[in-house]
Structure 1
């Protein structure tokens, strides 16, 4: 069985734009799911977004059962999760997107909470 994450095309384009806007720094956010499709991103307030990491206080996130994963950018060509990414993935479950430079649709990878690759399906 192929594990797949479904994401709205509009959201994917927005995430690519955010990645470009934050460059040369990373950005990070949380993904909301509705009816099995990732549809929104939440950027936690008061975060620090630097060239090698992103940090935010998860206590500032709303209690939201629709948060099903995370997204962050890598300002280099490496789309593989780092040990820190894997630790973070394990805390939030669901699906996790990494968007690496130069931030085109081909530069997006999805992983499960253990860091295993997951197929991405873009839906209208």
Structure 2
């Protein structure tokens, strides 16, 4: 089970910017890692964002072994995963970030696939 996620600082700041730009709607993406560090976000095509959910067609997602999890935003100051989030977490990797309003570094929480909170380590 994953106990910590290592993520590039620059990517975390980019995810915060994506959340701010999508507000008041949610955004979502897939996290890519190299050598144990999350370095990129893949924004899936054909995403339909809304204020309480994001829909995308999983058939549009490429086969990609570097995907280690997901990221999405909550336009409200609620960091806890919903039942739908937990279902989604169980399908795509072991690391999941929720970026929540007001979108500062303190407003990014990480979870494992079971929905337990895990530590975030920033990598320069």
Cα distance in structure 1, aligned partners of 2:7 and 2:70 = 12
Trace 1:17-56 onto structure 2 (pairs within 5 A): 17-56=17-56
Work out the CA distance in 2 between the residues paired with 1:85 and 1:24.
Answer: 18
Unaligned runs of 5+ in 2: none
**Normalising to structure 2: TM-score of the pair?**
0.97
Runs (4+) of structure 1 exceeding 4 A deviation are none
Q: How many residues align?
A: 123
Structure 1: unaligned runs, 5 residues or longer: none
TM-score (norm 1): 0.97
CA distance in 1, matches of 2:36, 2:93: 15
Q: What RMSD, in angstroms, separates the aligned Cα atoms of the two structures?
A: 0.9
Displacement after TM superposition at 1:93 (Å): 2.5
Which residue matches 2:98? 98
How far apart are 1:81 and its partner, in Å? 0.3
- Rounded to whole Å, the distance in 1 between the matches of 2:89 and 2:3 is 16
